[in-house]
Amino acid sequence: MKTKERKIGNKITKTVGAASLRRNLVIGLVALFIGCFALPANAQCEAKNDAFQSGEHVMYDLYFNWKFVWVKAGIASLTTNATTYHSEPAYRVNLLALGSKRADFFFKMRDTLTCVMGEKLEPRYFRKGAEEGKRYTVDEAWFSYKDGLCFAKQKRTFRDGEVQESEESDSRCIYDMLTILAQARSYDPADYKVGDKIKFPMATGRKVEEQTLIYRGKENVKAENGVTYRCLIFSLVEYDKKGKEKEVITFFVTDDKNHLPVRLDMFLNFGSAKAFLNDVRGNRHPLTSIVK
C-alpha cells in the first residue's frame, strides 16, 4: 500500500536517537499519547485544548516479559492540574513510573516527569528525574519564543554532579515529552490513512531529536479494568543506517475525544513490556469508544 508522510513545519529530517526510547518505559507511555495527530506548524506552539481538564488522573499497570513469563513490574500515573507560571495561568502535568521491588531484578525504574505549559499548551518548562538501573539523571528544559523561532535550553545533571548543557532553536515548535502529548490529544485523526507517517522534534534533556510515528488502523482492545475500547493503533519506529524500519513501540488510544491510552506494547533490549489502563478519573469527555 502506498503511504504518505506528514511533517511538522517546513522540513523533514532523518530520525535519530529513537533507540534510546527502548530503554525507557516512561517515554513509551508518552508515545502512547502523541501518535494520534498531526501537530500545528507554528513556532509559538499554541494550540486549543479540546481533550483534557484540570483534575484528570490516569493509572496504568506495567508488565515485563522475562523468558516467556509475564511479571507485574509496577505502576504509572498521569495527573493534570491547573497552576500558575510567572504569574500567568498554566497547566502542570506529572507522570510517575514506579517499578516494583520484584521487577528491580530485571530493570530498576523510578521516574518522575513534570512539565509546565501555558493555557494555550505552549511548552514553558520540563523536568525528568530518572533512576534506571544504576544510573540517575535529572533532565531539564526551558522554552522561549522570539522572532518566529522556538528556543530550547537544556541541561542534564548526573549523580556525580557532572552537568551537560545545550541550546537549540527551530522555526517549528520544539516539544517536550509531556507537552506534546497534551497538544496531540486535541487533534482530530479522522483524515488519517493506514501507513501515514507523522514526524516531530522533541527535547529530551540533552538535545532535540526527530521522532517518527506510523498510523496502523483501528482495533478493539480490552484494558486491565475489564473494559473493551475501540482504539486507534500507532507505531513508534526507528531506522538503521540503511533506512530499514524497526518497530519500537505499538500503542492503542481510545477513538473518542479523550484520546486516552489503553495499551502499550514495547520491544526492549532485555525482552518485552506492556502497559495497561487500569483506571481513569476526571476525564473531560464521555468515553464513547467503549464497546458494549
Q: Is the dihedral of CA 283, 172, 124, 122 positive or negative?
A: negative
User: What count of other Cβ atoms lies within 10 Å of the Cβ of residue 145?
Assistant: 16
| Cross-strand partners of 127 | 114, 140
d(CA 89, CA 24): 31
Burial class (CB in 10 A: 0-12, 13-18, 19+), 98: middle
Domain count, the chain: 1
Question: Which residues, in sequence order, are CB contacts of 86 under 8 Å at separation 6+?
Answer: none
Does residue 23 lie in a domain region?
no
pTM: 0.78
C-alpha cell at 227: 473494559
d(CA 112, CA 190): 33
DSSP 3-48: --EE-STT-------GGGGGG-HHHHHHHHHHTT-PPP--TT----
Does residue 48 lie in a domain region?
no
Collapse the DSSP code of 68 into the 3-class scheme (helix H, G, I; strand E, B; otherwise coil) and give the result.
Answer: coil
Does residue 15 lie in a domain region?
no
Does residue 36 lie in a domain region?
no
Domain extent, residue 139, equals 56-281
CA angle 135, 141, 145 (to 5 degrees): 165
CA angle 220, 267, 227 (to 5 degrees): 25
| pLDDT value of position 234 | 84
Does residue 27 lie in a domain region?
no
First to last CA, the chain: 32
Does residue 181 lie in a domain region?
yes
CA angle 240, 244, 247 (to 5 degrees): 85
d(CA 120, CA 129): 26
DSSP 152-213: EEEEEEETTS-EEEEEEEESSPPB-TTHHHHHHTTS--TT--TT-EEEEEEE-SS-EEEEEE
Does residue 19 lie in a domain region?
no
| pLDDT value of position 267 | 75
d(CA 239, CA 116): 31
Q: Report which secondary-structure segment, H or E, holds 126.
A: strand 123-132
Phi and psi (nearest 5°) for 291?
-90, 120
Does residue 24 lie in a domain region?
no
**Residue keyed to cell 476526571:** 282
| Cross-strand partners of 150 | 145, 170
Query: Low-confidence residues of the chain, pLDDT below 50?
Result: 1-24, 34-43
| pLDDT value of position 100 | 83
| pLDDT value of position 3 | 40
